[in-house]
Amino acid sequence: MGKTSASKVSRGPGRPRSEEIRQRILEAAYELMEDVGFNDLTIEAIAVKAGVGKPTIYRRWSSKARLVMDAFFAATNSELIFPDTGSAKEDIRQQMKQLVVVMTSSRGQMIAMLIGGGQTDPELIEAFRENWLMPRRNHGGQVFKQGIERGELRADVDLDVMIDALYSPLFYRLLLKHAPLTEAFVDSLVDVVMQGLAI
């Protein structure tokens, strides 16, 4: 009895501790990325800040790029969910406004750094596309498909072109900063683009 109870007690906290370590590593990577940028970020610095050894990190992530993208995804995922209003146009409008909130916060500079760093680091830009960009494009495509099925949008619309037409201007303003990113801009952009797509 005593051995069984002790065994249960010792195993019980194992999984929470592992998840806690993972969260510490992700938070450390995200905070250091904000402070020093991707190029100057090191696994050693992340390990020190998280209070773990480098092997602990490498057992979970094969590269710095993968770790940084997981950290960024964990910090922004819940903020960029597509709503379900029953209208494709409103779903997109609200999600784009959520994205603008992220882009105008410190997370926006993180996006800019990741895109910039990815121009010289193929693995980083691949991780950005795979872990952050493509899931949102795929979800956006599903929203548009529902709009087509409901008769809101033309059936001959090219979904990739539609997504680029709506979202590219946000990244353009984020990176070049020639004009502000605002909810009013989103409203105007959605109205102009979606007008050409409606039946």
Map out the domains of the chain as residue ranges: 2-60, 75-195
* CB count in 10 Å sphere of residue 47: 19
Kindly report the CA angle at 130 between 120 and 178, in degrees rounded to 5?
60
Domains 2-60 and 75-195 belong to one CATH topology:
no
For residue 39, what pLDDT is reported? 84
Contacts of 66 (CB under 8 A, 6+ apart): 123, 127, 131
The pTM is what? 0.77
Which fold does the domain 75-195 belong to in CATH?
A: Tetracycline Repressor; domain 2 (1.10.357)
d(CA 190, CA 167): 10
Query: Chunked in runs of 10, what are the mean pLDDT values of the chain (199 residues)?
Result: 40 62 94 89 96 95 88 79 91 94 88 88 88 89 93 90 95 96 97 81
Show the tokens assigned to 51.
């209070």
Q: Which residues pair with 117 in a beta bridge?
A: none
Which fold does the domain 2-60 belong to in CATH?
A: Arc Repressor Mutant, subunit A (1.10.10)
